[in-house]
């Protein structure tokens, strides 16, 4: 396993367009997270899954954002009607959580979104 993979690495889109990002987590990990990071800030939580169930979604996340994790494997994050404020690095992470213990997140390299 080569770690967490994200695709694409970079995405430039026009305002108003829809974009979709993909994340392939480490196969043994049961949790998958999406974060967003802007320059000079720490990663901001968006949503997370345990297996295929989406357990939590940030209240800061507008209805334009949706995430799926069909069959508990890869995940997609879709942003509809993109706005310039959506420009950021979108990070995916996975982790193994067992018996209420988390063993640390493994992050992917991220997808850098630029909305023009």
Instruction: Tell me which of 1, 52, 56, 68 binds other proteins, using CB under 8 A.
Output: 56
**Closest distance to other proteins from the beta carbon of 16 (Å):** 29
β-bridge partners, 95? 31
Stretch in the footprint of other proteins (CB under 8 A) among 20-28, 48-56, 62-70, 78-86: 48-56
| Secondary structure (DSSP) of 7-35 | E-SEEEE-TT--EEEEEE--TT--EEEEE
Instruction: Tell me which of 55, 64, 74, 115 binds other proteins, using CB under 8 A.
Output: 55
Q: Which of residues 87-106 bind other proteins (CB under 8 A)?
A: 91, 93, 97, 100-106
**Closest distance to other proteins from the beta carbon of 15 (Å):** 26
**Closest distance to other proteins from the beta carbon of 19 (Å):** 19
For position 44 contacting other proteins by CB under 8 A, the verdict is: yes
Identify which of residues 82 and 110 has a Cβ nearer to other proteins in the complex. 110
Half-sphere exposure of 5 (CA within 13 A, CB side): 7
Six-digit token pair at 7? 């695709």
Measured in degrees and rounded to the nearest 5, phi and psi for residue 60 equal -75, -15
Q: Does residue 39 contact residue 56 with C-beta atoms inside 8 Å?
A: no
For position 110 contacting other proteins by CB under 8 A, the verdict is: yes
Q: What is the DSSP letter of 70?
A: G
């Amino acid at each position: 396993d080569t770690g967490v993979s994200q695709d694409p690495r970079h995405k430039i889109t026009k305002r108003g367009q829809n974009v979709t990002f993909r994340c392939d987590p480490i196969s043994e990990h049961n949790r998958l997270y999406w974060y967003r990071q802007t320059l000079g800030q720490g990663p901001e939580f968006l949503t997370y899954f345990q297996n295929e169930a989406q357990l939590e979604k940030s209240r800061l996340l507008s209805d334009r954002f949706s995430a799926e994790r069909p069959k508990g494997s890869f995940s997609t994050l879709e942003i509809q009607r993109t706005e310039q404020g959506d420009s950021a690095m979108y990070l995916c992470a996975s982790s193994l959580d067992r018996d209420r213990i988390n063993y640390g997140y493994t992050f992917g390299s991220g997808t850098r979104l630029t909305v023009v």
